[in-house]
Amino acid sequence: MYAATPQRPSYASGTSEVPLLGDTIGDNLAHTVAAFGDREALVDHPSGRRWTYREFAADVDAVALGLAARGVGKGDRVGIWSPNCPEWTLVQYATAKLGAILVNINPAYRTHELTYVLNQAGISTLISASGFKSSDYVAMIDEARPDCPTLSDVLVLGTPEWHDLLATGAAADRARLDDIAATLSPDDPINIQYTSGTTGFPKGATLSHHNILNNGFFVGELCGYTEADRICIPVPFYHCFGMVMGNLAATSHGACMVIPAPGFDAATTLETVAAERCTSLYGVPTMFIAELSEPSLDEYDVSSLRTGIMAGAPCPAEIMKQVIDRLGMREVTICYGMTETSPVSMQTRTDDTIERRVSTVGRVHPHLEVKIIDPESGLTVPRGTPGEFCTRGYSVMLGYWQQADETAEAIDAARWMHTGDIAVMDDEGYVQITGRIKDMIIRGGENIYPREIEEFLHTHPDIVDAQVIGVPDERYGEETMAWVILRDGAEPMTAESLREFATGRLTHYKIPRYVHVVDEFPMTVTGKVRKVDMREQAREILSGGR
């Protein structure tokens, strides 16, 4: 008698013939400039400004030396509070060359949140736009400053003081940066990104050169980037999607960073892709939905597009198919990750089948490990079994800034990062993310994963986008509620009409009991749906009898 073959565990490691980079970000940029100095590095479409790699490096050095002249040094925290603009990118690379720690501040923050981040990170220098949309940043800084004892220097972009900094840096001795570079290690912390926590104050994920440079590089490798690529980046720089998957993926391959606008606008993004002949386009699903719904879509020549990334939230299969068919992004990839892991852990490959790309987040990234565990026992589950997704490797953050207890809750003794996401791994190592542990709905003892229902709702001809949440119910404990955005001209939708559509096609207990039609979902600035806000609003809606 032979023993039964044990089931394979939900574990995978990313092998690669391409080694990890051992550089600092400054050193890596220097290699790119040496190889591709005359190629375009950065284009700001709104202003028409352009930089070759040689020009970009010179301006980065000027910003770095200008900051150094104002006393910024290794380990100092430099905050940046601005929507997307070329100066954001220059500051990103300049602070890395100084060994200073860049602290990304959400452009949507108000005074209370700004004050918290300035104090929690101990920011000494703040670089800020004058404002964005309806926010007056200068007024908010003035209000916060008396309560921020570490803040000693504020620079507002576009002012005479900012131009003086550039002039001072441009006239300074470049050799000083070489001396500083000799003191820097790839393992030094150089970035703090605050997670958009759903409860309490956000936590500052602290990331090193090694973390984010390698993650950006391998994201670019799996997109097939070369110096010929031009990446349209409408996602925010303050988030990993923009500054790592966008900027660092570009500069580590000699590709061009293209900024379509300070904030996202569907028509402007499409116009930029056409005008700049972009080969790659980034976005969260809601951005791609907006682009596909843009009435003037067919007026733009987007035939230059080859690849791109859809990430930041679960990607509806129907939307993914349209991105390939209507935008021509035949090699588009799906990425999955989190701020704390630099961010990407999983990515589809450009040669994966469409089915793989619409139904999974791909396979493990090079040089990383992933596993799926039983959240209760901590043991790795067999393939095909849902559990909590965990990842380990070079990408895992150094920790939450000045929050050792919170770090220990997220990263265990073996350095596995626990994500809180529910996932399933198949026999080939492809992973599906089926929801958040906290988002799972338990209705009368049945576990319901919102993602499954959301995918189904996207097949309704009148539904442009859908989100499903759990709401309290006296009989079942929880019931399902669908929030839907309808196409223009669609008939009003009710719970009854949706039930009629779903009956016989969706298990009865998964059919949403309540339907709420909206024009938009509550979102974070990075395009993630805030289901915690939806649940709060749903309680008010239902208690009001609506």
Give the domain ranges of the chain.
25-425, 446-543
Question: Mean pLDDT in the chain?
Answer: 93
Q: What's the pLDDT tens digit per position in 455-513?
A: 889 999 999 999 999 999 888 888 999 999 999 999 999 999 999 999 888 888 889 99
Burial class (CB in 10 A: 0-12, 13-18, 19+), 529: buried
Calpha distance 71→68 (Å, rounded): 5
pLDDT at residue 225 greater than cutoff 70: yes
- Tell me the HSE value of 64 on the side-chain side, using a 13 A CA sphere: 28
Q: Region 186-209: what's the mean pLDDT?
A: 85
Give 199's pLDDT tier (boundaries 50, 70, 90).
very low
pLDDT at 72: 98
Percent of the chain predicted with pLDDT > 90:
82
pLDDT at residue 1 greater than cutoff 60: no
pLDDT at 435: 79
Cross-strand bridge partners of residue 463: 486
Residues 482-499: b if buried by 16+ CB within 10 A, e if exposed: bbbbbeeeeeebeeeebe
pLDDT at 196: 58
Give 322's pLDDT tier (boundaries 50, 70, 90).
very high
Tokens 């035939």 belong to residue: 303
Tokens 């790699």 belong to residue: 53
Give 146's pLDDT tier (boundaries 50, 70, 90).
very high
Comparison of pLDDT for 162 and 543, the residue scoring more: 162
Q: Region 217-224: what's the mean pLDDT?
A: 98
pLDDT at 2: 43
The CATH number of 446-543 is 3.30.300.30
Q: What's the pLDDT tens digit per position in 4-34?
A: 456 899 999 999 999 999 999 999 999 999 9
Calpha distance 50→41 (Å, rounded): 8
In this prediction the pTM is 0.86
DSSP state of 297: G
Sign of the dihedral through C-alpha 186, 187, 190, 195: positive
Helix ranges, 369-459 (H): 404-410, 450-457
pLDDT at 363: 98
pLDDT at residue 49 greater than cutoff 90: yes
Q: What's the pLDDT tens digit per position in 343-388?
A: 999 999 999 988 898 889 999 999 999 999 998 899 999 999 999 9
25-425 homologous superfamily: ANL, N-terminal domain (3.40.50.12780)
DSSP state of 184: -
pLDDT at 163: 98
Give 200's pLDDT tier (boundaries 50, 70, 90).
low
pLDDT at 198: 39
pLDDT at 354: 85
Dihedral pair phi/psi, residue 463, rounded to 5°: -100, 120
pLDDT at 485: 97
pLDDT at 9: 98
Q: How far is CA 75 from CA 78, 97, 152, 280, 340, in A?
A: 9, 11, 15, 34, 20
pLDDT at residue 197 greater than cutoff 90: no
Calpha distance 345→291 (Å, rounded): 27
- Which own/partner contact pairs does 267-272 have at CB distance under 8 Å and 24+ positions apart? 267/294, 267/296, 268/45, 269/232, 269/234, 270/294, 270/296, 270/297, 270/300, 270/302, 271/300, 272/45, 272/232
Task: Give the pair of three-digit tokens for residue 508.
Answer: 């009865």
pLDDT at 180: 98
Q: What's the pLDDT tens digit per position in 407-452?
A: 999 999 999 999 999 999 999 999 998 878 888 787 877 778 788 8
pLDDT at residue 228 greater than cutoff 80: yes
Residue (of 532, 526, 536) closest to 109 by Cα position: 526
Q: What's the pLDDT tens digit per position in 80-93?
A: 999 999 999 999 99
Is 446-543 in the same CATH topology as 25-425?
Answer: no
pLDDT at 202: 82
pLDDT at 113: 87
Q: What's the pLDDT tens digit per position in 376-405?
A: 899 999 999 999 999 999 999 999 999 999
pLDDT at residue 307 greater than cutoff 50: yes
Could you tell me which residues come within 8 angstroms of residue 83 by beta carbon, excluding any fewer than 6 positions away? 107, 129, 132, 236, 262, 263
* Residue 474, helix vs strand vs coil: coil
Percent of the chain predicted with pLDDT > 70:
97
pLDDT at residue 328 greater than cutoff 50: yes
Calpha distance 352→355 (Å, rounded): 8
- Tell me the HSE value of 315 on the side-chain side, using a 13 A CA sphere: 33
